[in-house]
Structure 1
Amino acid sequence: MKSKLKNFSLLTISTLIMAVGIYFFKFANNFTFGGITGMAVLVARFTPLSAGDFSFIANILLLIIGFIILGRDFAAKTAYSTILLSISLSLLERIFPMSKPLTDEPLLELVFAILLPALGSAVLFNIGASSGGTDVIAMILKKYTSVNIGRGLLFSDMLFTAAGFFVFDVKTGLYSMLGLIVRSALIDNFIESLNRSKYFHVVCTDPKPICQYIETTLKRDSTLVSATGSFTGDNKYIILTVLSPSEAVKLRNFIRGNSPGAFLLISNTSEIIGKGFHSV
C-alpha cells in the first residue's frame, strides 16, 4: 500500500510539473519539440482544435497501442498520467489564457520548457510509466531494441521538431531543435541520477563488524569473498555490497571509525537489478 501511494504521488506530481512547463513555456513560444505536445503546437496553428485538446485525442490513441504492446501495468499508469496531463493543459488554457510568452527572453523560457518536462518524464519512465504521446514509442523502442529512452525520443520527435522551421520561422525552429537535443540528453541523465547507487568493494582482515553493520543497521545484504594479498600473502576478505548514496555515507563513516585499516573502492552505478532495487 505504501509503495502504491508513493507511485501515485510521483505520477501526480511529475505530471503536473510537466503540464506547467509545457503550457507556460512551450506552447506560448511555439516550441515544437516533445512529440505530441510539439505536434499539438502545429495543429493548433492550422485547425480550430486547441493544443491541449489535440494532445488529449492523440494521447488516447497512442495509449491503446501502449496497452497492447507494453502491458496492463504500464497502460494503467500511463492512462492516469495522460488524462491528468491533458486535463491540466485544457484547464490551464481556460484559467490562464496566454496570448504571448511570459517574458521577452526566449532562451530563458526554452530552459524551463526543457527542464520541467524532462524532469517529469524521467520520473515517469523510472517508475514504468509515461505521459503518453511519443513517450510510448520510445518505451517500445527500448523494449525491443538497444536504443535508450533519450535516443528513442530524439528519433520519434525529430519530424515534428523539424516542421517548426517551415510552419513558424527559422528562429523558432532552431530553438525547438536545440530543445529536442538537450531534452533527450537530460532525460537519460535524470533517470541515471534517480537510480544512482554506490557499489562497495571493501578489502579487510576482519569482515564481521562491517557485515553486521550492513545487515543490522542499514538493512542491506552483502557478499563475502576470500582473498589473498599478492604482496604480503596475508588472508583477506572482500565485502561486496550496493547501497543508496545516503547509506553509502553511513557505511564509509562506520568503516573509517571502526576498521581504519580497510581498503575501500566505491563506484557509482545505476543499473542494479535484484531484491531491494529493480526487478528484472
Structure 2
Amino acid sequence: MKNIRSHLSDIVLMVLGNLILAVAVVFFILPNNILSGGVAGVAIALYPIFKIEPEVMINIIIVSSFILGFVFLGKSFALKTLASSILYPTFVNLLGGLNMSVPVDPILASIFGGALTGVGLGLTFRTGASTGGMDIPPLILSKYTGIKVSIWILIVDAITVLVGLKTYGLNEVLIGFLSIYAATHTVDKIQMFGGEEAKQIFIISDKNDEILDHIHELLERGSTLISARGGYTKDSKEIIMTVLLKEQYNELEKMVKEVDPNAFLIVSNVTEVHGLGFYKI
C-alpha cells in the first residue's frame, strides 16, 4: 500500500511539474522571447541561427536529451523521464494552441517565468526523473562531479543565455539572467520543501547530565554525546550535540546559561531535517 501511494504521489508530482513548466514557457518565456535556460531558452537562442520554430526545436532537444539520459543515468531514470518527455511537449502544444499570452513587462515575465520553471523542475526532480530537456546535462554532470544539480543548472543555463548575446544584445541577456537566478533558487527551495528547518547545537559544559535531562524531558528532543579532547588543556570531554526546532532554541539557551553560565554553545542553521521527531512530507 505504501509503495502504491508513493508511485501515485510521483505521478501527480510529475504531471504537475511538467504542467507548471509548460505554463511558464508558453505564457511567459516564449511570448516575450526571454533568453531563459532550459529547452525554451535554447530554442529561442538558436532560432536566428537555424530558423527552426521554437516549438519544433523544443521537441528536437527533448528527444536528444532523453537519449543522453538513457546512456548516462540509467534505464530507471529514462523510463520515468520518458513520461515527462511526452507530457511536457504535449502540454506545450495544448497550451500553445490557446493562443494566449500574459501581457507583462519582460523583466516581470523573466522573473515569474523563471520561478515557475524552477517549481516545475523541482517537483519533477523529486520523483527521480527530469522533464526530458536541458535539465538532463546538469543531472549527468552532478552525478559525475558531486556538485549540486542546481549549480550545474545555473552554469548550463548561463551558457545558453550567452549564446544569444550577439543576436539579441546585452539587455536581453541580462533579463535572461534574472530568469536563470529565479529558476535555480526555486529548484533548491522545492527540493528542500517538506523538511523542517531547525538549529543544530553543540554544547560544551561541565554539567552535561543536568543539561541532557532538560533536553530530553522538557524539550523532548534527542541528543548525541561526542567524545572530544581540549586542544589547550588536553582534557577529555563529552560534547552534547542536539537538533531543535528553531522556536525551541531560546528556551534551550536560557536553560543552559542557568545550569552552567560558562557553557560554550556553537549554533548553526539546518536547512532540512527529517526523521524521528521531525515532520517530512
**TM-score, reference length from structure 1:** 0.71
Q: Is the 8 A contact 2:118 2:182 kept in 1?
A: yes
Q: Is the 8 A contact 1:165 1:174 kept in 2?
A: no
CA deviation map 1:226-251 (0-9, x unaligned): 7899xxxxx98644344xxxx71575
Q: 2-side partners of 1:67 and 1:212: how far apart?
A: 52
Residues 103/202 of structure 1: CA separation in 2 closer, same or farther (3 Å cut): same
Q: 2-side partners of 1:14 and 1:122: how far apart?
A: 7
Q: Which moved more, 1:203-212 or 1:139-148?
A: 203-212
2:173 maps to 1:176: no
Aligned to 1:97: 99
Aligned to 2:107: 107
CA deviation map 1:247-271 (0-9, x unaligned): 7157558858998748765422348
Aligned to 2:88: 85
Aligned to 2:38: 35
2:189 maps to 1:190: yes
Q: Is the 8 A contact 2:200 2:270 kept in 1?
A: yes
2:209 maps to 1:205: yes
Residues 213/150 of structure 1: CA separation in 2 closer, same or farther (3 Å cut): same
Q: 2-side partners of 1:254 and 1:150: how far apart?
A: 36
Q: 2-side partners of 1:97 and 1:44: how far apart?
A: 20
Residues 8/258 of structure 1: CA separation in 2 closer, same or farther (3 Å cut): farther
CA deviation map 1:2-55 (0-9, x unaligned): 4333333333333322221121110111112213221223466623x451x432
One-letter amino acid of the counterpart of residue 86, structure 1: P
Q: Provide the identity percentage.
A: 29
Q: Is the 8 A contact 2:112 2:179 kept in 1?
A: no
Secondary structure of 1:205 counterpart? helix
CA deviation map 1:96-137 (0-9, x unaligned): 214xx5225111111111111123323434553322222111
Aligned counterpart in structure 1 of residue 70 of structure 2, from 67, 70, 88: 67
2:224 maps to 1:223: yes
How many corresponding residue pairs? 263
Secondary structure of 2:200 counterpart? strand
Q: 1-side partners of 2:42 and 2:9: how far apart?
A: 32
> C-alpha displacement at 1:143, in angstroms?
1.4
Q: Is the 8 A contact 1:162 1:177 kept in 2?
A: no
Secondary structure of 2:30 counterpart? helix
One-letter amino acid of the counterpart of residue 190, structure 1: K
Q: 1-side partners of 2:65 and 2:277: how far apart?
A: 32
Q: Which moved more, 1:187-196 or 1:28-37?
A: 187-196
Q: Is the 8 A contact 1:149 1:188 kept in 2?
A: no
Residues 255/269 of structure 1: CA separation in 2 closer, same or farther (3 Å cut): closer
> C-alpha displacement at 1:66, in angstroms?
1.1
One-letter amino acid of the counterpart of residue 68, structure 1: V
Aligned counterpart in structure 2 of residue 7 of structure 1, from 1, 5, 10: 10
Q: Is the 8 A contact 1:31 1:164 kept in 2?
A: no
Aligned to 1:144: 144
* RMSD, matched Cα: 4.2
> C-alpha displacement at 1:169, in angstroms?
5.0
One-letter amino acid of the counterpart of residue 29, structure 2: K
One-letter amino acid of the counterpart of residue 215, structure 2: I
5+ residue gaps in structure 1? 230-234
Q: 2-side partners of 1:172 and 1:225: how far apart?
A: 54
Q: Which moved more, 1:184-193 or 1:7-16?
A: 184-193
Aligned to 2:233: none
Q: 1-side partners of 2:185 and 2:122: how far apart?
A: 9
One-letter amino acid of the counterpart of residue 114, structure 1: G
Residues 205/107 of structure 1: CA separation in 2 closer, same or farther (3 Å cut): same
Aligned to 2:269: 268
Aligned to 1:248: 245
Secondary structure of 2:31 counterpart? helix
**TM-score, reference length from structure 2:** 0.71
Aligned to 1:232: none
Secondary structure of 2:199 counterpart? strand
